[in-house]
Every structure is written in structure tokens, then in C-alpha cells.
Chain A
Amino acid sequence: MMSQSFVLSHLRALEAESIHILRETASQFCNPVLLYSIGKDSSVLVHLARKAFYPGKFPFPLLHIDTTYEYPEMIEFRDRFTNEIGAELRVYTNQDAINAGANPYNLGTAKCCHLLRTSALVAGLREGNYDAAIGGGRRDEEKSRAKERVFSFRDRAGRWEPRNQRPELWNFYNGAVNPGESIRVFPLSNWTEIDVWRYIELENIPVVPLYFAKPREVIVRGQTLIPLQSNVKLLSGEQPEMICCRMRTLGCTPCSGAIRSEAGTTRSIIEEIISFRRSERENRLIDHDQEGSMELKKREGYF
């Protein structure tokens, strides 16, 4: 039986658009890399890239910027997942900064993040001589991201100039660059958080178990739950508690808090998000350091 409907479902339309973007990336650049952060968006990106080039091989190496402060479950998942799909994993760490004693407890989160993520990313991309870096950023995440292009130009220093972006019309992506310049590619630009979860459910995509709720030992600090396994230093008066919680986004242990949740499956996470009234980046402490802080970080080269 042939279907008479010639309308794509919402998720398939997003999928088709992302596949188109990934194929453009592979075609327009000499040395593209997929920025692999281990999070759910990265899982979706990798899945889409497999689809885009089927039955060909997975076309991009994966680059993980390892701050060395990430949850052990993330690293475990990373190694298993990349091995299963037969992708090449490259890991970069800003070893100079770590040797010099950079850590979130002494420097504060803003400075630490600048050194171990932003600077590390720019250095890692330069070291690999990549002309395109694919990331899982979405426009619904934060206000300055809403203005991000799908193909976003970065100058030789890896900087974003939000006032002078290339106009992007139709689905024509201009990826032309001169040596040393690069493009950040965002195939998930038009996806929302709920689209990502629905697609994970539809396609049965593996994600890090930290996303699913279970009782974890945490410290309650303000609105945020900080899992104990993060080696967090207790402030005076703080006591660890056992709370059923999950991570809404993944990052470094000191910076990404958990939320109270009973959602132990993809389906229940989707239901939770529908009823939710708070954005997913809220528990990323670094985004709130100052008004417009994401824009400032992005200008310096953050994803």
C-alpha cells in the first residue's frame, strides 16, 4: 500500500534538513571534524551522520575536548559508543593549563571554563588544522544562539563576530574559507530540546545513563543539586543527601547540576519536559555568571 500523504512528519523533516547540512559539510571542506561532547545532542548528531552517508563509511573523525573534570560515566560511554559505530575518536586536553594548576575550585568556573573548554577547543581545532567543526548547538538553547547561522564563520583566532555574519538564505550554506579560517556547523539549529528527546526515542539512540533519574548522593546548593561523585568541596553547613535526580545537560562535574526527577526512561523524560517550565541550561552555572555571558564566551570561540 502506497501512502497518499506527501507531508513529512516534523521529526523526519528535521532529520532531512540535518542530513542535507552534514552532506554539505563533508562536500565543502577538506578537513571537517565532529565535536563530540558525549551529550545527547552529540549522540543525535553522530546518528544523523551515519544516516547521511549510508551505505558509505562514517565520514568525520570525532573530537572530544576533555576537561578531565567530566563524569566517569561519560568517558565510559564515549569509549563504548564510538567503538561500536566504528568512528575515529580524537581527544584533546589543554594540558598546559592543567599542568599550571587550572581547576574550577581555585580559579572559579568562568576562568576555568575559558581555559579548559574555550581555549582548549580553539587550540584543539588549530592543532588538527580543521576547516570545519560540527557541533550540536541548537537555537532554542539561549538567546545569543538564536542568531547563530547554520554555517557560522570564525576568524583565524576562532572568534565569532555576531554583528557581521554571512547572510544565510534558503538552504544554501556558504562554507568558503581562506587558510586558518573555519566554519562551525550546527546541523541541529532548528531542533528544540523536546525534538531531540523524541528523536532519541523514535530512533532508539543510546545516551549516557546520567540523563535518567535514579537516587544519587548530592549536595543541595541553591536551586542546584551537585552530585557527590564530582569531588565537590562542601561548604560549611552542607550535608550530602540521597535524592532521586537526573542530569538535564552534561558538562564538568562542578558546573553541571542535577535536577530532582523521577524520569527513568526516554518516554518519561519527554513527559517531564512537556510539563517543565524551566530551560535546560539553567543548571549550567557558567551561563549565568553575567548578563550576556554566553555571547561573550561564543565570541571567544566557545561552541
Chain B
Amino acid sequence: MSIAAQPKTVTLDHFTASGDELPLLRISTAGSVDDGKSTLIGRLLFDTKAILEDHLDDVKNSKVNRASRGIDLSLLTDGLRAEREQGITIDVAYRYFSTARRKFIVADTPGHEQYTRNMATGASTSDLAVILIDARKRFLEQSKRHAFISWLLGVRTLVFAINKMDLVDFSRQIFAQIREQSNTLLSLLDGVQVHFIPVSALDGDNIVTKSSRTPWYDGPPLLEILEAAQPGVDVTALPLRFPVQTVIRPDSDFRGFAGQIASGRLRVGEEVTALPGGQKSRVARIVTFDGDLDEAFAPMSVNLVLADERDIARGDMIVTASKEASQAQTVEATVVWMNEEPLVAGRSYLIHQGPRVVSARVSRILHRWDVEKLETRDTSSLSLNEIGVLEIEASEPLLFDPYRENRATGGFIVVHRISNLTLGAGLIERKSLNVSGRGPLLPEERLQLRGHSGAWVDLSQAHELIDAVERALLTEHLHVVRTEQPELRRFGLIVLTLGYHQGTPDVVVDRSDLHSAIVAIRASTILGALHVFGEREGI
């Protein structure tokens, strides 16, 4: 009998969570050497009873127990011999614990600079990042780097655990200062939710229960925040993306496209498009071992049968016809470089987007990030642990959504053609524009080519600043003109006016403060607020 003849069926609740089951929360942790990160995780595991007695005995009996009081909780998580001996964490380790309310996976990542790659690895799948700060050291550049990398990789809940509060007498003032120091940075990371907690990982203050030693702190303890956290984005609400892993063909009557739904939902009868070919069809069956389904959602692994015979293979992507993914051979991407051998413009690599593998060349490096100062710098290569923005030309179309919109389809890894090593991780920003194209420029092309949007800056109340403003903007190669025609802003120009005009200016300069005028103009025109990071004081 053919498999297609009489499929058994199953309802979706065979797969879904029951009533009050909260989805698993994936956490990454970052902190610098000696900030007490391993101790914090050890404390969480210990206090939630995820540590088993014999593991605890091993730690007590260990030759390298460094704790001054009781047991050294960091030994529970520092797994490799070299780490235990040197007292540092050198690779990502995954930990599992659960409370009555929720299950957690912790990616414990090393914090010092050489291990940016491990931090990025841990952050790539995380919903929430716990960033440790040593209360004695304040908000340092490395904390900034941790926050920035987590944000870049798409983590949208940041928890700053101000640790070792016991060593600063649980000072409310120090806690407030650190919070204050981070404000400017955080105002620039769009879309993040932020928490600050004063803790002592060593003693357990504000980890599982509220500490009596911080009566001035009115927020919840760490574990409560973790239990209540929402995953940043509901992937099932994004458009359907289904990367095909393999074609299952047990007999001539059955041809199923097997894969894991990367985002969105899927129904029998829905119209879909197969990329890169663009052929359209309808979903005929959603097959699983347990039975056929009427609908499915991310991240289910299913086997799709389409209504029409279509030439689809591993590496193709089935998407909803109502909102297809982008395809392009030339894209701009932010890349975190993870290998000792630097990335060099002009060189060719393999790019893996999950099952899709294409050959690609780095056509140019636009800039690299100075992640301590959060400024961009010119460069012709990227070294280990550096982050840069590149233009990549692939031999075949890449299928993607911008990483900021969809983490499941915007990422890729860079693989060496000969050694097969994973050299870097990429986050696709956008399709590169074709500068040699014809016809009128589209608004987004103009935006990208100019590097900023147009704006009307009304200086009618601050005439004396116009020269200085023009000079400052020209110095940064922005397209600025002095004219009494504010409508020119739609061509991407920054228009400085002195007189009165109908309409609403983008920036009104109403006092003689050059610095705030420039900050306001940048904020309203420059692509991605990040470009202005380094210019502000105190960041």
C-alpha cells in the first residue's frame, strides 16, 4: 500500500505546551575575568538544586579549590582541566537547570577580549544575557563590549548583575553610579529591555531570594527576572521560512521536503514559493511520524508535500507567497571574525546559511567596529575577534531576511575552503545596491549611497551657529547645504535654513549650544544610531 493512501492524522496539541508551561529560556552570560561569572552560575545551579551531590563532593575534594569560605562554586562550571588550573573560562559551556516554573539553558561564555567569538556563539541562540560587572571596577569598556555584542547578535533582554556588592558594603551609591554610567550606552541600543541587580554571587544575595543586605533595592532577585522573562521575538509571528534540509523519497508516490520551520506558521492549502527558483505551489500535506497535521509552526521539524511536482533540493527555501524572503548575490553583512588567520578583502570563502552553501568573495570591507569606544574605523582586514561590516558577492543568490528582522534567516557562517574551519559569523544587514543601475534612484538607494537621510534644520533662532554647524557636518562628509528651500531634504540633503518657512523642521536649534545641535542632527539623519556612539561624552 502506498504511504500516501491513508495517512493517519494528529492534532496540533500533540505537540504544543500545556496550559501554564513556559517556553524554555536560553540565557548567555558574559563578564570579565574575575567578575565572578562562573561563581554566579554555580550559585544559580546550587540554589536551584541542579547540582548533584557527587559533583559537589568532587569540587570539595578538588586540588584547586580557591574559595576562601566553603566551596568554590566556580569549579562546578569550569569544566576543562586548563580552566580549573588557571581559574579562567576558555570555552562556551552549556548548563541546564530548572525551577518549578521554567527550564533554562545557560551558555556560559568567557568574557575577556580574546574570546569575543565565544561570546558571540553563546549570544547567537540566547533570549537574555546576564552581564556581570564587578562593583569595585564600575562600568568598564568591557561591559560595554558585552552589551554591544549581545545586542548585535539579537539578544533583547540585558540583565546587568552588579556583583561583589559584599566587597563595597552593599553601597547604594556605587550601584547608582554604575547604573548612571551605563545610561548613555543603553539609550543607543534600540529595542532592549534592561535590568540592574545588586548581587553577591559568592554569598547568594539577590540571586534566588531578596537580600536583607540591600534594603534600598526594590527590584526582584535574579531568578525571578529569569522566570518571568519573555523571549525577545515571537518567531511564529514572523513570515514562514522553511529551509529544505533533505528530500525524502521512499517510493515514487511520495516526495517530501524535510526541514525545521525557521520562522512563522504553515497550513495545508497555503500558497508557498520555493526560492531561489520562485515556483509557486500549495501545501498538500504536513507529514510527521506521529501523523499528518493541518498546521505547524516554528521550530517544528516536519516533512512537507506540495500539491505540484516542483524541482526543490537541499538548500532551497520554501516561504509564504504573501511575503517572500529577499534574495541577492551581493549583500552587506556584519561579520564577527573568529580565526587567527585574518579576513582579507578580495578573498573567497564558503558561506553556510544552514543547509544552503554558496561560494562568496569579500568584495570590500566598509569599516570595522572599535567595540570599546563604539566607533567605526577604516580597515582592509579583520583579525581574530574583530567585528566589521563587509560587502559580500556570492556565486549564487543568498536567501535571507535582514538579521535584525529575523535571526533564523539573517545569519551565516564563513567556512574555509581547504581546512573547513568555521572562520566567522555573519549577520546580513541588507541587499547591496547596484550603483551602475538605471532609472530614478529609490529613496532607500539614496539613503544608503549618501549614508544618511535628508533633514531640514531650522536655525532661525540661532543664526550665529550656522557656520559652525556647516563646518562640523562637512567635516564628517555629510551632504549639507545652506539654502532657504527646505523641500530639498527629500533628495537626501541636510538643509540649513535661517528664515521662516511653512512645514515642520526635523531639527529646531533653539539655543547656542553647538554640541547638542550636532548630536540632534546626527540622531535624526544618520543610518543606525550606532554611528554616533563614540562622539557622545561619557560613553
**Measuring CB to CB, which residues of chain A are less than 8 angstroms from any residue of chain B?**
1-3, 5-10, 12-13, 15-17, 19-20, 23-24, 26-27, 50-57, 139-140, 142-147, 162-163, 165-172, 174, 176-178, 189-190, 192, 276-279, 282, 291-292, 295
A17→B354 CA distance, assembly (Å)? 13
The residue from A16, A189, A291 contacting B260, defined by CB atoms under 8 A apart: A16
B94 adjacent to A190 (CB under 8 Å): yes
* 3 interchain residue pairs of minimum CB distance: A143-B79, A176-B420, A19-B301
B300 at the interface (CB under 8 A from A): yes
B125 at the interface (CB under 8 A from A): yes
**Measuring CB to CB, which residues of chain B are less than 8 angstroms from any residue of chain A?**
3, 11-13, 15-18, 21, 23-24, 49, 52-55, 58, 62-63, 76-82, 84, 90-96, 103, 105, 117-118, 120-121, 124-125, 234, 236, 245-246, 248-250, 254, 256, 258-260, 265, 287-290, 294-295, 297, 299-301, 303, 314, 338, 350, 352-355, 407-408, 411-413, 415, 420-422, 425
A12→B92 CA distance, assembly (Å)? 25
Query: Inside 8 A of B236's CB, which chain A residues have their CB?
Result: 6
23 A-B interface contacts by CB (under 8 A): A3-B12, A7-B23, A8-B16, A10-B21, A13-B24, A17-B299, A19-B301, A20-B301, A23-B258, A55-B250, A139-B93, A139-B96, A146-B95, A162-B80, A162-B91, A167-B121, A168-B422, A176-B420, A177-B420, A190-B96, A192-B96, A282-B52, A295-B80
| Smallest Cβ-Cβ distance to B16: which chain A residue | A5
The residue from B124, B289, B290 contacting A170, defined by CB atoms under 8 A apart: B124
The residue from A7, A56, A167 contacting B21, defined by CB atoms under 8 A apart: A7
Given A12-B16, A16-B260, 6 more contacts at CB 8 Å? A7-B17, A143-B78, A146-B93, A167-B117, A172-B411, A174-B352
B413 adjacent to A172 (CB under 8 Å): yes
A254→B409 CA distance, assembly (Å)? 50
Query: Inside 8 A of A176's CB, which chain B residues have their CB?
Result: 350, 415, 420
B301 adjacent to A56 (CB under 8 Å): no
CB contact under 8 A between A172 and B352, given known A13-B24, A190-B105: yes
B80 adjacent to A9 (CB under 8 Å): no
| Smallest Cβ-Cβ distance to B103: which chain A residue | A10
A2→B11 CA distance, assembly (Å)? 7
A154→B314 CA distance, assembly (Å)? 26
A3 adjacent to B16 (CB under 8 Å): yes
A54 adjacent to B287 (CB under 8 Å): yes
Interface centre among A7, A139, A145, A190 (most CB of B within 10 A): A7
B245 adjacent to A277 (CB under 8 Å): no
A50→B3 CA distance, assembly (Å)? 15
A142→B52 CA distance, assembly (Å)? 11
Query: Inside 8 A of A144's CB, which chain B residues have their CB?
Result: 79-80
A103→B95 CA distance, assembly (Å)? 36
Interface of A is mostly: loop
| Smallest Cβ-Cβ distance to B249: which chain A residue | A56
Query: Inside 8 A of B63's CB, which chain A residues have their CB?
Result: 291
Query: Inside 8 A of A143's CB, which chain B residues have their CB?
Result: 55, 76-80, 93
Query: Inside 8 A of B290's CB, which chain A residues have their CB?
Result: 51
| Smallest Cβ-Cβ distance to B78: which chain A residue | A143
The residue from A3, A20, A145 contacting B13, defined by CB atoms under 8 A apart: A3
Q: How far is the CB of B14 from chain A (nearest CB, A)?
A: 8
CB contact under 8 A between A8 and B17, given known A20-B260, A292-B81: yes
A54 adjacent to B314 (CB under 8 Å): no
| Smallest Cβ-Cβ distance to B61: which chain A residue | A291
A5→B22 CA distance, assembly (Å)? 12
The residue from B18, B294, B338, B411 contacting A167, defined by CB atoms under 8 A apart: B338
The residue from A55, A172, A278 contacting B354, defined by CB atoms under 8 A apart: A172
A291→B58 CA distance, assembly (Å)? 8
| Smallest Cβ-Cβ distance to B409: which chain A residue | A170
Query: Inside 8 A of A166's CB, which chain B residues have their CB?
Result: 421-422
A140→B79 CA distance, assembly (Å)? 12
| Smallest Cβ-Cβ distance to B261: which chain A residue | A16
A10→B299 CA distance, assembly (Å)? 12
Query: Inside 8 A of B314's CB, which chain A residues have their CB?
Result: 27
Interface centre among B17, B62, B353 (most CB of A within 10 A): B17
Query: Inside 8 A of A279's CB, which chain B residues have their CB?
Result: 52, 54-55
B249 adjacent to A277 (CB under 8 Å): no
A285→B140 CA distance, assembly (Å)? 46
A259→B169 CA distance, assembly (Å)? 47
B79 adjacent to A146 (CB under 8 Å): yes
B299 adjacent to A2 (CB under 8 Å): no
Q: How far is the CB of B485 from chain A (nearest CB, A)?
A: 49
The residue from A1, A163, A174 contacting B422, defined by CB atoms under 8 A apart: A174
Query: Inside 8 A of A167's CB, which chain B residues have their CB?
Result: 117-118, 120-121, 338, 413, 422, 425
Query: Inside 8 A of A12's CB, which chain B residues have their CB?
Result: 15-16, 300
A170→B422 CA distance, assembly (Å)? 13
Interface centre among B52, B79, B120, B314 (most CB of A within 10 A): B79
The residue from A3, A6, A163, A169 contacting B120, defined by CB atoms under 8 A apart: A169
A74→B288 CA distance, assembly (Å)? 31
A242→B157 CA distance, assembly (Å)? 55
| Smallest Cβ-Cβ distance to A142: which chain B residue | B79
| Smallest Cβ-Cβ distance to B420: which chain A residue | A176
B425 adjacent to A278 (CB under 8 Å): no
A20→B408 CA distance, assembly (Å)? 14
Query: Inside 8 A of B90's CB, which chain A residues have their CB?
Result: 163
A282 adjacent to B295 (CB under 8 Å): no
A291→B53 CA distance, assembly (Å)? 16
A168 adjacent to B21 (CB under 8 Å): no
A50→B241 CA distance, assembly (Å)? 25
CB contact under 8 A between A5 and B62, given known A165-B91, A168-B121, A172-B352: no
Query: Inside 8 A of B55's CB, which chain A residues have their CB?
Result: 143, 279
B245 adjacent to A9 (CB under 8 Å): no
A242→B421 CA distance, assembly (Å)? 55
A178 adjacent to B295 (CB under 8 Å): no
Interface centre among A177, A189, A292 (most CB of B within 10 A): A292
CB contact under 8 A between A147 and B93, given known A5-B16, A10-B17, A167-B338: yes
Q: How far is the CB of A195 from chain B (nearest CB, A)?
A: 9
| Smallest Cβ-Cβ distance to B250: which chain A residue | A56
Query: Inside 8 A of B24's CB, which chain A residues have their CB?
Result: 10, 13
Query: Inside 8 A of A5's CB, which chain B residues have their CB?
Result: 13, 16-17
Q: How far is the CB of B353 from chain A (nearest CB, A)?
A: 8
